[in-house]
Amino acid sequence: MVPPSQKNTIDFDAAKVQRLGASAQKEQTRPVSLAQLRQRLGLQLQTSLDAERILATFFRELQHLVAVDSLGYQHSSSDLRLDFGQQANHSATYRLSHESEYLGELTFRRRQRFSDHELAQLESLLASLMYPLRNALLYRVAIQSALRDPLTNTGNRIAMDQVLGREIELARRSGQPMSLLMLDIDHFKGINDEHGHSAGDEVLKAVATTIKDQLRNIDMVFRYGGEEFLVLLSATSREGAQLVGERLREAVLGLQCVAQGRPVQISISLGCASLKLGESVDGLLNRADKALYSAKRSGRNCLAMAV
């Protein structure tokens, strides 16, 4: 019979850190060991602004005081979820915050129940994690902002340039296919002229959201230009990319947008290109771009495949 899971869920606020630390040290049979570990963590965790590295270090070091099988962390607004070690039945979860600022949830797991004494030790060690983790989250937000288009919340050209080269090299090494979809909103200038630029912005956001909703988590969307988007489809063949492109076209065609009480008809044209052996980033982009213009010349609201 599997024993019932131990679940301790606690709000952990940085304002309580000193009290928790002092209490844990009084109860400690080896207070010097706890103090030494907190001091070591304080030094090590300050050396990085990468959340994954900080939490990996914290997980490794805490084993010197409390045996833990796994550590899980999630921060939904930063789209960050990390897991270290092996899953187990018993868990203790802490909701981290600093001056009412939410810093995510941290879960310790192991095969045996945590004692009150061990939980007090973990809570004391959390004191060393709070500020480095907060700094890492702020840094992550800054990096994400620099790589995202603020209107559509898709990747920008800087992000696209960084990702494309890496993904092409990964596809070459793994022998997996990779495809691009380049798409353009049909008659977008007419939408701006007839309904105004604010309506045009809403159309851009609606199209971007619709595209992302139709894709897998591993696929990536970038705003390529004014009303153009680029979709990177990892591990996707020419045939698979064609199916995805048609699905995107139909989803956008089904959008119901209204501006100043009048419906706005939206459609997209798409060009699809799959990576060829030895092809460069520029070569792949040029073929996708030519396919897009072929779709436009064919009457728009359609998909064209690159040769």
Active site residues: 227
> Is the distance from CB of 212 to CB of 232 less than 8 angstroms?
no
Please count the residues of the chain.
307
| Helix H or strand E encompassing 232 | strand 228-234
Listed residue (136, 162, 160) closest to 149, CA to CA: 160
Listed residue (213, 208, 203) closest to 154, CA to CA: 208
Q: Which residues pair with 56 in a beta bridge?
A: none
Question: What is the C-alpha separation between 59 and 63, in angstroms, rounded?
Answer: 7
The SS3 assignment for 133 reads helix
Question: What is the C-alpha separation between 111 and 91, in angstroms, rounded?
Answer: 9
The torsion angles phi and psi of 83, rounded to 5 degrees, stand at -135, 135
Q: How far is CA 133 from CA 69, 93, 288, in A?
A: 21, 16, 41
Q: How far is CA 93 from CA 10, 74, 101, 104, 205, in A?
A: 6, 11, 17, 11, 36
Among all chains, which residue has been given the structure tokens 């699809």? 272
Question: What is the C-alpha separation between 26 and 37, in angstroms, rounded?
Answer: 16
